[in-house]
């Protein structure tokens, strides 16, 4: 179980991410994670990871980590929708807030809405290669 101080910090992060433009950034994560974001505050870093973001399948799970600037793990909490964990909603909301802030969701949607209203479309960027291995056939 995470420390009360870390849980309080996560609650404050969620509240402030909605009202302030916090500097959440995408983080590297392994292939087992659906996404990860991190933010540096003071002498620490908080990383929020979605191991599965499929709320509709009731399999969503999230993990929040408190790290030193050197990357040492200080505290951690994990919650899963499947097991009805007490902090599931908090971690889900922190993750979604971090993702929106990292990708500047409001600005992104506003720009798209402007194009839609003027009937303008743009050239598509190249698609990212999602497969990292060769197909067996």
Q: Which two tokens stand for residue 109?
A: 């949607």
Place of tokens 């609650």: 11
Burial 99-127 (b: 16+ CB within 10 A, else e): bbbbeeeeeeeeeeeeeeeeeeeeeeeee
Q: What is the pLDDT of residues 48-81, one digit of tens each?
A: 999 876 655 667 889 999 999 999 999 999 998 8
Neighbours of 60 (CB within 10 A): 21
DSSP lists the bridge partners of residue 68 as 44
Closest listed residue to residue 61, CA positions, set 84, 37, 45: 84
Whether this prediction's pTM lies above 0.85 is answered by no
At residue 135 the predicted structure's pLDDT band, cuts being 50, 70 and 90, is very low
Q: In the predicted model, what is the mean pLDDT of residues 23-39?
A: 82
Q: In the predicted model, what is the mean pLDDT of residues 89-101?
A: 91
Place of tokens 């990708």: 103
Closest listed residue to residue 46, CA positions, set 19, 61, 25, 29: 25
At residue 137 the predicted structure's pLDDT band, cuts being 50, 70 and 90, is very low
Mean pLDDT lowest for which of 28-37, 52-61, 77-86? 52-61
pLDDT at 25: 93
Closest listed residue to residue 41, CA positions, set 6, 3, 87: 6
């Amino acid at each position: 179980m995470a420390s009360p101080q870390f849980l309080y910090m996560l609650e404050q992060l969620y509240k402030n991410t909605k009202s302030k433009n916090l500097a959440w950034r995408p983080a590297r994560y392994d292939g087992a994670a659906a996404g990860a974001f991190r933010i540096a505050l003071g002498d620490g870093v908080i990383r929020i990871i979605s191991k599965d973001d499929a709320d509709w399948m009731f399999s969503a799970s999230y993990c929040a980590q408190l790290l030193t600037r050197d990357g040492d793990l200080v505290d951690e909490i994990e919650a899963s929708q499947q097991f009805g964990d007490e902090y599931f909603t908090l971690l889900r909301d922190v993750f979604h807030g971090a993702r929106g802030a990292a990708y500047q969701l409001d600005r992104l949607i506003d720009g798209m809405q402007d194009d839609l209203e003027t009937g303008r479309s743009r050239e598509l960027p190249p698609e990212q290669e999602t497969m990292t291995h060769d197909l067996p056939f």
